[in-house]
Structure formats: C-alpha cells, structure tokens
Amino acid sequence: MTKKILSVFFIILFFGVIGILYSFFNYTDNEVKESKEYLSPISKVQESGKLDKSWIDNFQTSKKNKYSYPVNELFMHIDLQRYLYSKVKSYKLVIQNMDRYSLFCVMQTLQNFNLPFVVTKQKVAPIIYLESDSSKKLKEIREELKKYDIDSKIIEKRL
C-alpha cells in the first residue's frame, strides 16, 4: 500500500516538474520594452530634444579671460654654490666581518654623532660613506666602535 502511494506521489511530482520546465522554456513575451539611457556625460539629450552642454563645452565657449591653473605652482631656488665646493671631506668606513648586530651598532653610533652618512648595499658587506670636517670626530667614532668589538678603518675617499 505504501509503495503504491509513494509511486503515485513520485509520478505526480515528475510530471509537475516537467510541466513547470516546459512552461518556463516556452514562455514568450510579445511586448517589446524600449529604454534609452545615455552613458556618455558629454552629450545628454533632454526631453525637449536639445543637447545638454558639458562643462568642457561651457568652458570653451565662455568669454571670461580670468582663469586659474588646475594645479598649484611651486617655485624652488637651490643654491648649488654652497654644495659644489664644500670643504667637507668624504670618508669610507671599512669594517671587517660585518653582520647585522655590528651594522646596527655602527648605525646607532653614527646617528649619535650627528654625522651625515650613506650606507650602500654591496654583495659581500654594506659600505658606509661619511662626511666630516674634523678628524677628531672620526677617531671618536673608531673608539666608540671598539667598545662594541668592531674593528674599523677610515679611508679618505673622493666622491
């Protein structure tokens, strides 16, 4: 009895699904919908048929002579004479067996002495260039680095 009820239920369900799919695929809408939408902001057509002018068209046809640039102007003056013939000498700080800790110590030491320096990355070890006008400061840097067990040499370099 229950087998008959289940089989009838599945047959009804099967034909119902087929009928829904048939009506879904055979549905035709004879009414054509027409819609206009202009995506370009340059020329929008008003309902009266006239073209809307964009801000570029208004800018071209305006008679005003006063205008401002769309960017800020920046004027710079760099006095290169001060830098061309500097009395400050350049030095190369050579450190044997440079590792991360020693590089950190060197960087902190140079920052404490307020000397301008440049670190360049090389294949073997970084190279450090210094600028100083006194040899006394350079000796103090070497002495400070010896406290951290960092052996260093300072070589005068022409850049």
> What is the per-residue pLDDT across 50-97, written as a single tens digit (0 to 9) for each?
556 677 777 667 776 666 656 666 777 777 776 666 666 889 988 888
So what's the pLDDT on residue 82?
65
Q: Tokens representing 154?
A: 């300072």
Give the per-residue pLDDT at 11. 93
> What own/partner pairs with CB < 8 Å and gap ≥ 24 does 98-106 have?
98/125, 98/126, 102/148, 102/150, 105/145, 105/148, 105/150, 106/145, 106/150, 106/152
Q: What are phi and psi of 136, to 5 degrees?
A: -65, -40
Q: Which two tokens stand for residue 147?
A: 């406290």
What would the CATH number be for the domain defined by 88-157? 3.30.70.600
CA-based radius of gyration for the chain = 41
Ranges of each domain in the chain: 88-157
